[in-house]
A and B are shown apart, each in its own frame.
Chain A
Amino acid sequence: NAGVTQTPKFQVLKTGQSMTLQCAQDMNHEYMSWYRQDPGMGLRLIHYSVGAGITDQGEVPNGYNVSRSTTEDFPLRLLSAAPSQTSVYFCASSYSRARWGYTFGSGTRLTVV
C-alpha cells in the first residue's frame, strides 16, 4: 500500500544511546518532515526537507539530525538520547510544503530511560 512507513514502532533507549528512526514514502513526495507529539503540546516540527539534498530545522531541532539522500527516505537520528526526547515521533510527507495536505506515518513511540 502506498504511504509513509516508519520503523520501528516502539523503542526503548538508555540515556546517551544513539539511534535512527526510519521513514520511507513511495508517493514521490518532495516534502518530508519529522514531528514529535507530546501530551498537551500538539505536534512540533523537528526537521523538514523540500527535496533530496535539502534539509532545514523546525521548531525543536536540538538533539536531532536528518539527511535526505533520496526522495524516498528521510531518517531521523538521535545523537545522544535524553529522557526529554521521550515522545511519539511522526514522519509526514506531501507534494509540497504548503499547498497540499500531509500523509503521516503511524508513528514511533520512543522511551528514553
Chain B
Amino acid sequence: SQQGEEDPQALSIQEGENATMNCSYKTSINNLQWYRQNSGRGLVHLILIRSNEREKHSGRLRVTLDTSKKSSSLLITASRAADTASYFCAKFDALDQFYFGTGTSLTVIP
C-alpha cells in the first residue's frame, strides 16, 4: 500500500501532557499534511510541510519531517480535552498521488 501508517492507532493522555503521533510512508513525497477530525465532522487542515522543510509550528502544534526515515511526527503540547479527535496524515508523493493514512485516535482526559 502507498498509504503508510499512523502510529499509534490510539492514544490516551491526561490533560496538560504532550501527545506525539507518527506517520510513515513508503515513496518519496512532495509534501505531507496533517488533519484533525472531530467525531462526526469533516477533516480540518492543520499543517502542510514540504519535502525540503524539516519542522513547522502552528500554535501548540509542531510537525517534523525526516525524509531519510520517510516519517513525520505531530506533537501537540499542553493538550486540552478539546484536542480529543482523530488525526490523519496525508502524503502527496512524487507520482502525483495523494493518500490519507488510517489515523490516530487521540483521547485527552480532563
A residues with a Cβ closer than 8 A to B are 4, 35, 40-45, 90, 92, 97-107
Nearest-neighbour CB distance to chain B for A56, whole angstroms, equals 11
Determine whether the beta carbon of B42 is less than 8 Å from that of A98: no
How many B residues, CB 8 Å from partner?
Answer: 22
Which one of A40, A97, A99 lies within 8 Å of B102 (CB-CB)? A40
Within 8 A of A (CB), among B52-90: 88, 90
- B43: A residues at CB distance < 8 A: 43, 90, 92, 102, 104
Judge whether B88 and A42 touch: CB under 8 Å: yes
| Known A42-B3, A98-B31; further 15 A-B contacts with Cβ < 8 A | A4-B42, A42-B101, A43-B43, A43-B88, A43-B100, A45-B98, A98-B30, A98-B98, A100-B48, A101-B46, A101-B48, A102-B33, A104-B42, A104-B44, A106-B42
The A-B contact count (CB < 8 A) is 48
Give complex CA distance A100, B41 in Å. Answer: 21
Give Cα distance in the complex from A97 to B95, angstroms.
13
Q: Which residues in B have some Cβ–Cβ distance to A below 8 Å?
A: 3, 30-31, 33, 35, 40-46, 48, 88, 90, 92, 96, 98, 100-103
Q: Within 8 Å CB of A105, what residues of B? A: 42
Closest to B101 in A: A42
Q: Which residues of A contact B100 (CB under 8 A)?
A: 35, 42-44
Please give the distance in Å from B8's CB to the nearest CB on chain A: 14
Q: Give the distance in Å from the alpha carbon of A103 to the alpha carbon of B45 in the complex.
A: 7
For residue B92, which residues in chain A have a CB less than 8 angstroms away from its CB? Answer: 98
Least CB separation from B44: chain A residue: A104
**What are 22 pairs between A and B in contact, CB < 8 Å?**
A4-B42, A35-B100, A41-B102, A42-B3, A42-B88, A42-B102, A43-B100, A44-B100, A92-B43, A97-B96, A98-B96, A101-B45, A101-B48, A102-B43, A102-B45, A103-B45, A104-B35, A105-B42, A106-B41, A107-B40, A107-B41, A107-B42
